[in-house]
Amino acid sequence: MLTRDFLLKADCKTAFGAIEESLLWTCEQRAASLAATLACRPNHSPVWIFGYGSLMWNPIFESDEIAEGTLEGWHRAFCLRLTAGRGTATQPGRMLALKEGGETTGLAYRLPEEKLHEELELLWKREMVTGCYLPTWCDLKLADGRTVTAMAFVMDPRHALYEADSCPKTIAPLIAQASGPLGTNAQYLYSLEQELKKRGLYDDCLTDLVQRVRELQECHNNMVG
């Protein structure tokens, strides 16, 4: 599993697997992206991060508060071609992102102001290795009725790794087979399913996909066995 210590020491060129040179962002590009995002911070209100994938079960960064929240106008989609981490260029998987439309329920983390830059630098190193996301400030409805401004990583549809077709029939075979230095693509999917179930949350985009991936893996295991 990805740990804070691993990420602090990681060389982005090699730690996640082989990433095509033209896609890899430099430290300077990540720093510029972070600075531009913070420059758009609304009214210097507390910084909340919206987690909808692995940030839910393995956030790594420090936070002063965690709350369930619903993001209107965006839905989960495995629309990011995964060539590192839990996939390779020769056997790519699919990573989760947010696409426009619908809603997403996940976790919101309020970052400590005194450690804000340090925690966000670590988050950018994790999420923006290739600059595939657009860090976006959004209104987030928390389960206790509050509305806060949160930053969410949404898919950049102009990015070279963006895949428009994210229907289960297309992506299940990819997720069932892909793996990389951080583990298997399927384990990521199952971890998301378990985390949502544990919290009593639900996302109908996962039901068919999880079933298809499980069936493909069982079929493969039976053939091998």
- Determine the Cα–Cα distance for residues 52 and 98; give it in Å rounded to an integer: 9
Query: Among all residues, which ones are annotated catalytic?
Result: 127
Backbone φ and ψ for 7, nearest 5 degrees, come out as -70, -40
Confidence of residue 225 (pLDDT cuts 50, 70, 90): low
Structural domain that includes position 134: 4-224
Q: What is the reported pLDDT for 73?
A: 98
pLDDT tens-place string over residues 48-104: 999 999 999 999 999 999 999 999 999 999 999 999 999 999 999 999 999 999 999
What b/e readout covers 205-223, taking b as 16+ CB neighbours within 10 angstroms?
A: bbeebbebbbebbeeeeee
pLDDT tens-place string over residues 198-220: 999 989 889 999 999 999 999 88
Using a 10 angstrom Cβ sphere, with 0-12 exposed, 13-18 middle and 19 or more buried, the burial of residue 168 is middle
Q: Is 75:95 a contact under the CB 8 Å cutoff?
A: no
Q: What is the reported pLDDT for 72?
A: 98
Q: For residues 8-26, give the mean pLDDT.
A: 94
Q: Is 213:178 a contact under the CB 8 Å cutoff?
A: no
Q: What is the reported pLDDT for 56?
A: 98
How many domains are there within the chain? 1
Q: For residues 26-37, give the mean pLDDT.
A: 98
Q: For residues 139-164, give the mean pLDDT.
A: 98
Domain of residue 25, CATH code? 3.10.490.10
